[in-house]
A and B are shown apart, each in its own frame.
Chain A
Amino acid sequence: MSTVLQQIINGVSIGSVYALIAVGYSLVYSILKFSNFAHGGVLMLGSYFGFFALTLFGMPFWAALPLAIIGAGLLGVLNERLAYRPIRIRNSPLLYLMISSLGASIFLENFTIVTIGPNFRTYPEVFAISPFMIGDLSIGRLDIIIFVIAAISVALLTWIIYGTRMGNAIRATSYNMRVASLMGINPDMVVAFVFFLAGASAGLGGVLFGIKYTVWPQMGILTLKAFIAAVVGGLGSLPGAVLGAMVLGVTETFAAAFVSSAFRDLFSYALMIIIIIVRPGGLLGTITGEKA
Chain B
Amino acid sequence: MSQYYIGILVLICINLIAVLGLSLMTGFTGLFNFGQAGFLAVGAYTATILTTKYAVPFPLALLAGMLVSVLTSFLIGYPTLRLKGDYFAIATLGFSEVVRLLVENLEKLTGGSRGIPRIPLYTTLPVALVATVLALWLVANYVRSRHGRNCVAVREDELAAESIGINSFRYKQISFAINAALAGLSGGLLAHYIGFIQPSMFGIIKSTELIVMVIFGGMHSLTGAVFAAVVLTSMPELLRAAQAWRLVAYGVLVVVIMVVRPEGLMGSWEFTPANLKALFNKQGG
The answer to whether A and B touch directly, with their CB atoms under 8 angstroms apart, is yes
Interface residues of A (CB under 8 A from B): 34-35, 82-83, 86-87, 92, 94-100, 102-111, 113-114, 218, 221, 224, 227-228, 231, 235, 262-263, 265-266, 269, 272-273, 276-277, 280, 290, 292
Complex contacts, A103 vs chain B, CB 8 Å: 250-258
Residue of B85, B94, B251, B259 touching A107 (CB-CB under 8 A): B251
Evaluate contact between B90 and A227: CB separation under 8 angstroms. Answer: yes
Q: A114-B244, A265-B97, A276-B79 are in contact. Are A107 and B90 (CB under 8 A)?
A: no
- Tell me the bound Cα distance from A110 to B242 in angstroms: 13
Taking CB as reference atom, which chain A residue is nearest B105? Answer: A262
Evaluate contact between B248 and A83: CB separation under 8 angstroms. Answer: no
10 A-B pairs with least C-beta separation: A103-B254, A107-B251, A106-B251, A110-B247, A35-B86, A103-B255, A100-B258, A110-B248, A86-B259, A269-B94
Evaluate contact between B83 and A276: CB separation under 8 angstroms. Answer: yes
Complex contacts, B105 vs chain A, CB 8 Å: 262-263
- Tell me the bound Cα distance from A265 to B96 in angstroms: 12
- Grouping DSSP codes into helix (H, G, I), strand (E, B) and loop, the B interface class, with mixed when no group exceeds half, is helix
- Tell me the bound Cα distance from A44 to B163 in angstroms: 45
Complex contacts, B104 vs chain A, CB 8 Å: 262
Evaluate contact between A224 and B83: CB separation under 8 angstroms. Answer: no
- Check: B34 CB closer than 8 A to any chain A CB: yes
Taking CB as reference atom, which chain B residue is nearest A85? Answer: B259
Complex contacts, B245 vs chain A, CB 8 Å: 110, 114
Evaluate contact between B258 and A87: CB separation under 8 angstroms. Answer: yes
Evaluate contact between B259 and A106: CB separation under 8 angstroms. Answer: no
Complex contacts, B212 vs chain A, CB 8 Å: 106
Task: Identify 5 new A-B residue pairs, CB closer than 8 A, beyond the known A111-B248, A266-B102.
Answer: A35-B90, A99-B262, A100-B255, A102-B211, A265-B98
Complex contacts, B238 vs chain A, CB 8 Å: none
- Check: B130 CB closer than 8 A to any chain A CB: no
- Tell me the bound Cα distance from A113 to B246 in angstroms: 12
Complex contacts, A263 vs chain B, CB 8 Å: 101, 105
Q: Write 15 A-B pairs (CB below 8 A) sorted by A numbering.
A: A98-B32, A99-B262, A100-B255, A100-B258, A104-B251, A106-B212, A106-B248, A106-B251, A107-B251, A110-B245, A110-B248, A218-B204, A228-B94, A262-B105, A263-B105
Nearest Cβ in chain A — how far from B257, in angstroms? 8
Q: Give the interface size class of chain B.
A: 35 or more
Q: A87-B259, A273-B79 are in contact. Are A110 and B94 (CB under 8 A)?
A: no
- Check: B42 CB closer than 8 A to any chain A CB: no
- Tell me the bound Cα distance from A119 to B26 in angstroms: 34
Complex contacts, A108 vs chain B, CB 8 Å: 251
Complex contacts, B256 vs chain A, CB 8 Å: 103
- Grouping DSSP codes into helix (H, G, I), strand (E, B) and loop, the A interface class, with mixed when no group exceeds half, is helix
Evaluate contact between B259 and A224: CB separation under 8 angstroms. Answer: no
Evaluate contact between B258 and A290: CB separation under 8 angstroms. Answer: no
- Tell me the bound Cα distance from A221 to B30 in angstroms: 24
Nearest Cβ in chain B — how far from A223, in angstroms? 9
Complex contacts, A111 vs chain B, CB 8 Å: 248, 251
Task: Mark contacts of B32-43 with chain A using CB atoms, 8 A cut-off: 1 yes-contact digit, 0 otherwise.
Answer: 101000000000
Complex contacts, A280 vs chain B, CB 8 Å: 82-83
Complex contacts, B262 vs chain A, CB 8 Å: 87, 92, 96, 99
Taking CB as reference atom, which chain A residue is nearest B86? Answer: A35
- Tell me the bound Cα distance from A97 to B245 in angstroms: 24
- Tell me the bound Cα distance from A67 to B255 in angstroms: 28
Complex contacts, A83 vs chain B, CB 8 Å: 255, 258-259
Evaluate contact between A105 and B251: CB separation under 8 angstroms. Answer: yes
Q: A227-B90, A269-B94 are in contact. Are A102 and B259 (CB under 8 A)?
A: no
Q: A87-B258, A99-B254 are in contact. Are A290 and B87 (CB under 8 A)?
A: no
Interface residues of B in 61-100 (CB under 8 A from A): 79-80, 82-83, 85-87, 89-91, 93-95, 97-98
Complex contacts, B138 vs chain A, CB 8 Å: none
- Tell me the bound Cα distance from A94 to B86 in angstroms: 10
- Report which residue of B80, B251, B254 has the largest number of chain A beta carbons within 10 angstroms of its beta carbon: B251
Complex contacts, B34 vs chain A, CB 8 Å: 102
Taking CB as reference atom, which chain A residue is nearest B245? Answer: A114
Complex contacts, B30 vs chain A, CB 8 Å: 95
Evaluate contact between A224 and B211: CB separation under 8 angstroms. Answer: no
Nearest Cβ in chain A — how far from B195, in angstroms? 25
Q: A87-B259, A107-B248 are in contact. Are A100 and B254 (CB under 8 A)?
A: yes
- Check: B208 CB closer than 8 A to any chain A CB: yes
Complex contacts, B255 vs chain A, CB 8 Å: 82-83, 100, 103-104, 107
Evaluate contact between A107 and B258: CB separation under 8 angstroms. Answer: no
- Tell me the bound Cα distance from A110 to B102 in angstroms: 25
Complex contacts, A228 vs chain B, CB 8 Å: 94
Residue of A35, A97, A110 touching B251 (CB-CB under 8 A): A110
